[in-house]
């Protein structure tokens, strides 16, 4: 069994390259449905966001060529894009996922959205019955580690999303938002966040809603709504436009904006992959276009470097737990049987003393009988934990062969 990962992300690939390999939720479902039937794939998860596309596979053989599989799916020439691809295996792949989940690999350090995206990727794969126990445990433990990092370490301030970074940089360039008009195209997670951010900055915000959904879609408090089809009617009165949809087509094109004859400056922020706004609109008078690749964070301060070290130390501990499970997963069932048998043996050995305590309590203090029962449960649970600690303590100190011989010997003791 082998853990493999293939990725294309913002560190090596531009937004246009990432667009080629991006997946919609529907496409992920369809692809997983096919790939789970592949004879070499035991489990598969696909993560596709604005900044990255990653394929995670638990494979039967190490020779599986994920890049070739991806290029077949996307119908592209492998030679054209191979320079943008990163492949990782086993320990390197595991470390990457743990760092990714807590935001150490994000464009904006410690961003909050990535942990949800990792969880959602696992859920989507699970819904397609495309995961196996290796990927299930790996992703769950990576998310748990990320939560621990976010609880104990400050990697960034509370405002750590792409739109927060965009607003911050625009402020530094001298832009203001109070009293300005902003249109947000898209009412998904990023669209709602963008609307809230601009509203908090003092702007008057209008959110577009697809006409066929306008009666049921909730928009952020304090914002107005218009049908998506009327966005060009509203645009000439806007100072800012944010587009954040999952549409495969442009929400704004150069041709559509040229017809508006804008007479004042409009800042446009495109947070989508694939692009929502045609790049050529930046050539028009009064239009300044920023895409998601424009906004980058500075991770170089001494305090940030110190916090990164703290996060890495937490991840090291959590990854060690995963490797303990991964390397010994084939003996987990044996360990559980031993734990059960040892606890039952312990239970039988203390029954005489427990019954004597219960008799005495019944005669002198009946209300304590229930407490004795609870104490017995606590003691037996503690015994199970001690046995577990002892067994996996041996694993960390013995060679793999010696550990397996010990497990077999302990099992024999309880089978006698």
Query: Residues forming the annotated binding site for NADP(+)?
Result: 186-191
d(CA 163, CA 177): 14
Are the C-beta atoms of 305 and 279 separated by less than 8 Å? no
List CB contacts of 382: < 8 A, sequence separation 6 or more: none
Q: Please, what is the Cα angle at 307 between 303 and 308, to 5 degrees?
A: 115
DSSP 331: G
Q: Please, is 262 exposed, middle or buried when counting C-beta atoms within 10 Å of its C-beta (0-12, 13-18, 19+)?
A: middle
Q: Of residues 50, 182, 223, 238, which has the active-site annotation?
A: 50
Residue 211: closest CA among 191, 197, 225: 225
**Residue list for the binding site for substrate:** 49-52, 106, 111-113, 117
Q: Please, is 368 exposed, middle or buried when counting C-beta atoms within 10 Å of its C-beta (0-12, 13-18, 19+)?
A: middle
The total of other beta-carbon atoms located within 10 Å of residue 334's CB is 16
Q: N- to C-terminal Cα distance for the chain? A: 34
List CB contacts of 203: < 8 A, sequence separation 6 or more: 177, 178, 179, 180, 181, 182, 239, 240
d(CA 23, CA 246): 10
Is 50 part of the annotated catalytic residue set? yes
d(CA 227, CA 10): 33
Q: Please, what is the Cα angle at 290 between 289 and 294, to 5 degrees?
A: 155
Give the catalytic positions in this structure: 50
């Amino acid at each position: 069994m082998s853990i493999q990962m293939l990725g294309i992300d913002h560190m090596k690939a531009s937004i246009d390259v990432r667009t080629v390999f991006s997946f919609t939720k529907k496409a992920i479902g369809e692809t997983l449905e096919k790939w789970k039937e592949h004879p070499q794939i035991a489990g598969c998860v696909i993560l596709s966001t604005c900044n990255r596309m990653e394929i995670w596979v638990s494979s039967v053989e190490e020779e599986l060529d994920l890049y070739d599989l991806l290029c077949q799916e996307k119908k592209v020439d492998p030679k054209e894009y191979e320079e943008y691809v990163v492949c990782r295996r086993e320990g390197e792949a595991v470390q990457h996922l743990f760092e990714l989940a807590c935001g150490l690999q994000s464009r904006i350090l410690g961003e909050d959205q990535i942990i949800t995206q990792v969880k959602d990727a696992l859920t989507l794969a699970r819904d397609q019955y495309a995961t196996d126990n290796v990927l299930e445990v790996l992703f769950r433990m990576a998310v748990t580690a990320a939560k621990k990092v976010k609880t104990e370490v400050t990697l960034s301030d509370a405002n750590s999303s792409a739109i927060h970074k965009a607003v911050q940089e625009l402020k530094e360039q001298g832009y203001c938002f109070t009293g300005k008009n902003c249109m947000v195209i898209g009412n998904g997670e990023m669209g709602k966040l963008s609307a809230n951010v601009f509203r908090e900055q003092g702007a008057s915000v209008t959110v577009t809603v697809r006409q066929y959904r306008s009666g049921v879609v909730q928009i952020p408090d304090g914002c107005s709504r218009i049908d998506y089809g009327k966005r060009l009617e509203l645009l000439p009165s806007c100072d800012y436009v944010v587009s954040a949809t999952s549409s495969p087509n442009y929400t704004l094109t150069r041709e559509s904006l040229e017809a508006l004859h804008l007479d004042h400056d409009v800042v446009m922020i495109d947070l989508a992959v694939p692009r929502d706004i045609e790049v050529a609109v930046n050539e028009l008078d009064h239009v300044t276009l920023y895409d998601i690749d424009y906004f980058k964070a500075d991770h170089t301060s001494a305090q940030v470097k110190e916090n990164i070290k703290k996060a890495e130390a937490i991840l090291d501990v959590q990854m060690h737990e995963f490797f303990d499970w991964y390397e010994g997963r084939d003996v987990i069932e044996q360990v559980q049987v031993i734990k059960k048998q040892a606890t039952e043996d312990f239970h039988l050995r203390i029954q005489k003393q427990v019954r004597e305590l219960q008799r005495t309590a019944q005669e002198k203090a009946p209300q304590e009988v229930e407490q004795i029962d609870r104490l017995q449960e606590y003691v037996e649970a503690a015994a199970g934990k001690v046995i577990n600690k002892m067994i996996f303590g041996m694993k960390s100190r013995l060679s793999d062969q010696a550990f397996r011989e010990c497990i077999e010997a302990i099992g024999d003791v309880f089978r006698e």
